[in-house]
Amino acid sequence: MPITTGRPYLAIPGPSVSPDRVLNAMHRTAPNIYEGEIVEMTKALIPDLKRVAMTSQNVAIYIANGHGAWEAANLNMFSRGDKALLAATGRFGHGWAEAARAMGVQLEMIDFGKASPADPERIADALRRDPGHEIKAVLVTHVDTASSARNDIKAIRSAIDSTGHPALLAVDAIASLGCDELRMDEWGIDVLVGASQKGLMLPPGLGFVWFSDKALEVSRSADLVTPYWDWKPRGTGTEFWQYFGGTAPTHHLYGLRESLTMILDEEGLENVWDRHRRLAGSVWAAFDAWGIESSIRLNVADTASRGWSVTAATIPDGGAGALRRWLEAEAGVTLGIGLGMALPHEPAYQDFLRVAHMGHVNAHMTLGVLATMEAGMQALGIVHGPGALEAAAGALVG
C-alpha cells in the first residue's frame, strides 16, 4: 500500500505552498471596492510591496501570472523595432525572449547554456558593440527556475556601467523574490518582474513590475503600451481603480497583506533569505552524497551560482522520472519535472528533475523530501552514494 495519507507536499517550483494564514485571509466575502477598508489596506500595502523588492521607486500590480508580467514589462519599456539584449541561462530566459520577439522587439540573445550563470563581461562586450545605443534594455533572469542557475545582478550592473551604455537593466525575479537576496535599488535594477505564486506564497494570479524613475521616463515614449498594461496609472495613479485598471484582485490583496506581514514584519526579509540559503545547502549536500560513485549530479556546479529556491539535478537512465513517479504515487510528494533540458518525447527527459525549496518551507519539509527521495531510490534500486541524509542534516545545522 502507498503511504500517501496525510498532507500532500507539492515541491514544484511554483505554485509553492501557501500558508494556511494566507488562504484563510482570502476566505471571505468580497469588499466594497469603491471606498473603505480595502482602499486603505491597499494604500498601506504598496510601501510593503516596495520593501520586499528593496526599492523606494515604483510598482505596478497586474492580475496576471509571470508571463503577463513579462509582457507588461516589455510593453512599457519598448517601442516596436527597439533592440534588446537578453542573457539566457535556462528555459525562462528563452521564454522572455520569445515574448519580446513576438511583440516586435529585435532581440539579440547571448545564450549561456543550461547550467551556467551569465558572464557579465560578455554582456558588456555586446553593449560596446552598440555605440549608437540602439539597445534599450538588458534582460536577465535572476534565478532561472529551469536550470536553477543564479546570476550575479550586481556584477551585471557594474559591467553595464563600465561601458557607459544607458540601457535599462530588467530582471526576472519571479523565482527568487522572497527567497534569494535581492536588492533592487542598491543593485541598480530598473525593471523587476515578479509573480505571486512563488516566494510570495500566494496562489497564482498576481504579477508585479517594479520600475525605476529612469524606466518611468523611458516608458513615456514607449509606443508598444496599451491602456490596460500601462504601468504609469498603476504605479503613479491617485484613484484606487487605477492601480488595477479596473476591479481590484480583492482576495489576492488580502492574501498578499498576510504574506507580506509574515515576510517583512514577523520573520524579516533577511531571515527569509537565510532560511532559503540553509535549506538549499541541505539539498545540495544530499545530492553531493548521492553523487558519490554514481552519476547523480546537481545541474549547476558552482555553489555561488545556484539559486536558493529551487535545485535542478540529473539522475541518469530515467532515474529522475521514475523517482518522481514513485514519490507522487507512494509517498505524497510531488517533485518538479526537468524543464527545458530535453524534449518530453526524448528519453533524456526522464533524467532530470527539480526540487523546490521555495516560500513557505521549513527544515522538516525539506528534510522530509530528501528522506523520501532516499526511500524512493532504495525502492527503485537507483544507484546512489551513501550518507545523504546525514549530510543534509549536517548542512542545515551549519
Ligand X SMILES: *Cc1c(COP(=O)(O)O)cnc(C)c1O
Q: Which residues bind ligand X (CB under 6 A)?
A: 14, 65-67, 92, 141, 144-145, 172, 174-175, 195, 204
Give least dist CB 288 to ligand X, A: 24
For 252, what's the count of Cα atoms within 13 Å in the CB-facing half-sphere?
A: 21
Q: Cell for 209?
A: 513590475
Give least dist CB 15 to ligand X, A: 9
Give least dist CB 128 to ligand X, A: 28
Cα-only R_g, the chain: 21
CB 269 within 8 A of CB 371: no
354 has binding-site annotation: yes
Give least dist CB 237 to ligand X, A: 25
Nearest to ligand X of 25, 174 (CB atom): 174
Nearest to ligand X of 172, 258 (CB atom): 172
CB 314 within 8 A of CB 299: yes
Give least dist CB 217 to ligand X, A: 26
Which residue bears the cell 551556467?
A: 116
CB 211 within 8 A of CB 190: yes
User: What is the distance between the alpha carbons of residues 335 and 338, in angstroms, rounded to a whole number?
Assistant: 10
Nearest to ligand X of 172, 181 (CB atom): 172
Nearest to ligand X of 104, 204 (CB atom): 204
Nearest to ligand X of 97, 331 (CB atom): 97
CB 137 within 8 A of CB 268: no
Nearest to ligand X of 14, 235 (CB atom): 14
Nearest to ligand X of 127, 201 (CB atom): 201
Give least dist CB 77 to ligand X, A: 17
Q: Give the CB-nearest residue to ligand X.
A: 66
For residue 335, the surrounding DSSP H or E stretch is strand 333-337
User: What is the distance between the alpha carbons of residues 393 and 367, in angstroms, rounded to a whole number?
Assistant: 7
User: What is the distance between the alpha carbons of residues 219 and 332, in angstroms, rounded to a whole number?
Assistant: 47
Give least dist CB 12 to ligand X, A: 10
Q: What are the b/e assignments for 278-314, b being 16+ CB within 10 Å?
A: bbbbbbbbbbbbbbeebebbbbbeeeebbbbbbbbbb
Nearest to ligand X of 61, 392 (CB atom): 61
CB 195 within 8 A of CB 174: yes
Nearest to ligand X of 174, 256 (CB atom): 174
Q: Cell for 128?
A: 560596446
Listed residue (148, 138, 94) closest to 314, CA to CA: 148
Helix H, strand E, coil C: the string for 161-228 is HHHCCCCEEEEECCCCCCCCCCCCCCCCCCEEEEECCCCCCCCCCEEEEEECHHHHHHHCCCCCCCHH
Give least dist CB 208 to ligand X, A: 11
User: What is the distance between the alpha carbons of residues 21 and 202, in angstroms, rounded to a whole number?
Assistant: 10
Residue 85 pairs with which residues in a beta bridge?
108, 138
Give least dist CB 144 to ligand X, A: 6
User: What is the distance between the alpha carbons of residues 92 and 312, in angstroms, rounded to a whole number?
Assistant: 14
CB 369 within 8 A of CB 11: yes
Q: Pick out the residues of the known binding site for substrate.
A: 354
Q: Pick out the residues of the known binding site.
A: 354
